[in-house]
Amino acid sequence: MQEREAKLAQLRKKFAASARANRESLIEDSAKAKLNAREFARLERQRKLAETLRLKADAEERGEDVERQKNWEYTIEDNDNWEKKLARKKRRADFEFHDDAHAARRKYKKDLDALGPDLEAYNRQKALATGGALTTFDASSSSSALQAVGSAERQLAHDSLYRDASTLIYGDNKPSEEAIDRVVGKINNDIDKRGKFSRRRLNEAEGDITYINEQNRVFNKKISRYYDKYTAEIRASFERGTAL
């Protein structure tokens, strides 16, 4: 019995040593992978910088403008998209909080930019609703029966796409797996950002917050400029708890 207990203890020691070695190996491999990723990113930045400097040097030797040469590679569509992006960024440059409706609208616009509509599916539905190609074909049926089936499908697609207040069709939308994955990914990203978010307050370097608004902050700053040198000892006594 003692021999079995000793053998069991020895096996447990070997198991613990093996688990510890595996853990150390895993940590070492993880550290190497992170180091390799950082090294690859650093080398990639250096390569891009060297390529930019080489292009700039070649352009200066030929007497050309680097920015102008780079702009030649952009199409009219790229330029229009860039100008729209700048205009949209300028419209949304107001980052102050006004009210809940304004914040909700900003969030809605950002979600639209991130997700975007499925224009391909919409165009297919629109083509079918407005007289697109027939999708049902039966070789044994006559042309009139084929036209009737096509008209029914077209009418159903039209009623589903252009709904009014009197429609009885509702709750029939079935999103694709890709659309569901995009929405789930967007929600997960929002959760991660919300967990890492830390609002940076203005005037944090000034120390404790002793004001209730911007006007009060400016007034307190003016008062401190003139009277802090006279009240320093009193305030220190209050902080130490030794004031009489």
Per residue in 43-59, pLDDT (tens digit) is 888 888 888 888 788 77
Q: Is the pLDDT of residue 243 over 60?
A: no
Q: Mean pLDDT for the chain?
A: 77
Among 64, 89, 117, the domain boundary falls at 64
In a domain, 41, yes or no: yes
Q: Is the pLDDT of residue 84 over 80?
A: yes
CA gap 191, 189 in Å, rounded: 5
Cα 31 to chain center, whole Å? 27
Q: What is the DSSP string of 48-113?
A: HHHHHHHHHHHHHHHT--HHHHHHTT--HHHHHHHHHHHHHHHHT---S---HHHHHHHHHHHHHH
In a domain, 147, yes or no: no
CA gap 21, 29 in Å, rounded: 12
In a domain, 51, yes or no: yes
pLDDT at residue 120 in the model: 83
Domain count, the chain: 2
Residue 158 binned pLDDT confidence (cut-offs 50, 70, 90): confident
pLDDT in tens, 112-153: 887 877 788 888 888 887 875 444 434 444 444 344 446 777
In a domain, 37, yes or no: yes
pLDDT at residue 138 in the model: 44
Among 48, 64, 80, the domain boundary falls at 64
pLDDT at residue 152 in the model: 76
In a domain, 122, yes or no: no
In a domain, 94, yes or no: no
Q: Is the pLDDT of residue 82 over 80?
A: yes
* Mean pLDDT score, 221-228: 87
pLDDT in tens, 19-28: 888 888 888 8
Residue 79 binned pLDDT confidence (cut-offs 50, 70, 90): confident
In a domain, 100, yes or no: no
Residue 177 binned pLDDT confidence (cut-offs 50, 70, 90): confident
Among 19, 39, 64, the domain boundary falls at 64
Question: The tokens 């006594």 sit on which residue?
Answer: 237
pLDDT at residue 244 in the model: 57
In a domain, 35, yes or no: yes
Domain, as residue range, for 36: 1-64
Q: Is the pLDDT of residue 226 over 50?
A: yes
Candidate ranges 38-47, 62-71, 77-86, 150-159; pick with highest mean pLDDT:
77-86
